[in-house]
Copies of this chain bind each other. A is one copy, B any other.
Amino acid sequence: MRRRRSTHETVRIQDVARHAGVSPMTVSRALRQPDKVSEAMRRRVEEAVSAIGYLPNRIAGSLSSSRSNVVALIVPSLRNSLFANTVQGISDVLHAAGHHLMIADSGYSLADEEAAIAAMLQQRVCALVLHNTRHTARATSLMKRAGVPVVEIGTLTPDAFDINISYSNHDAAKAMTLHLARLGYRRIGLVTLPLADNDRSIERRAGYLSALGELGLAPDPRLMLELPGGIGSGAEAVARLAQGDPRLDAIFFAGDVLAIGAVLECQRRGWPVPGRLAIASFDDVDILRYMRPAVTSVRIPRSEIGRRSAEILLERVGGRAAAPVTVDLGFEIVQREST
């Protein structure tokens, strides 16, 4: 039977074979395992390939070999530039190994994450990288059944599904809170992103509370705020927290670019930072170092997380050991002028 849906006639491996006067099998080998064919053959095939402009069909290859060279990455949002470093790290390593990256976002929703996981598994990706560590039951079951390696990178968790490469959001937030206390601040506010479906935010708040407990300070709801990301939110947080408790002496912004907005808001109000209010941030984005005052922050090895994830995945896909792995890449408190 003949069927032709496209007007473009594709060049198949069969065509290369005919042109070179060999079998398709030999062409396939010459391209994928050059050391398995004679030198002369390799050259002959290469010439035929470029003569007729052959581009191997990886769809067919994947189907036949049951091996894919595509890794799926699912992040809460593509807009967030924090993930950008991780994405670049993953991409760099994958690219060097001849693999590719398929990206989807879950929009900070577990239901959407489940849908994305299902979609990616339908594409038969060879591995999954997830930013979340919480998943719906069906998502977990899907992944289990698919049997592909899964890396979770958003935070360290004791209940990792398979491979877990990250840092502890809990410990990082706790460390920063303790750091602020050590500097003498006592009324420390906390601003997080929305907690719903977001294990990182939840962990960070837990870390903050744990630090307060250790310090013998009572948590105060008036000092804790949950706001969507964005610079505007940072400004808003300053207003609301300061009004809620006039003795407020520091705010720890545990997410996104909130702290930037806060510093700018203080400038606008003429409040000296840290004289009137100390400000600390999470995720050491470039600009914090350049601001005036330069902003204290927790530095997360975003890029390294991406690179290591890809490396470990590639090992797994390559058929190496299949034991669960946890890698703690740590964090670092960067003390600057704002605290």
Contacts and interface: CB of A to CB of B under 8 A. Distances in A.
Nearest to A147: B8
Interface in A203-238: 230-232, 235
A75 to B, nearest CB: 10
Contacts of A67: 5
Given A80-B84, A84-B80, A147-B7, A59 B55 contact: no
A131 to B, nearest CB: 15
A5 to B, nearest CB: 5
A172 B165 CA distance: 43
A59 B62 contact: yes
Contact of A122 (B57, B102, B147, B260): B57
Interface string A90-133: 01000100001111110000000000001111111000000000
Given A63-B63, A84-B78, A292-B268, A123 B287 contact: no
A55 B231 contact: no
Nearest to A86: B78
Max chain B C-beta neighbours (<10 A), residue from A59, A84, A267: A59
A231 B294 CA distance: 13
B101 A102 contact: yes
A145 to B, nearest CB: 6
A91 B78 contact: yes
A228 to B, nearest CB: 13
A22 interface: no
A88 interface: yes
A38 interface: no
A160 to B, nearest CB: 20
Contacts of A231: 286-287, 289-290
A122 B6 contact: no
Contact of A124 (B5, B57, B235): B57
Nearest to A268: B292
A124 B58 contact: yes
A327 interface: no
A202 interface: no
B91 A8 contact: no
Nearest to A100: B102
Interface in A233-256: 235
A8 B267 CA distance: 60
A137 interface: no
Nearest to A73: B103
Contacts of A287: 231, 257, 260, 287
B88 A78 contact: yes
A235 B290 contact: yes
B68 A59 contact: yes
Given A55-B142, A261-B290, 7 more contacts: A57-B124, A77-B88, A81-B81, A100-B123, A102-B102, A103-B103, A257-B286
29 contacts: A5-B65, A5-B66, A6-B147, A7-B147, A8-B147, A53-B141, A55-B118, A55-B122, A55-B145, A56-B122, A57-B63, A57-B122, A57-B124, A58-B123, A59-B59, A70-B123, A78-B91, A80-B84, A81-B81, A101-B102, A102-B103, A103-B103, A231-B287, A231-B289, A231-B290, A260-B287, A261-B290, A264-B290, A264-B292
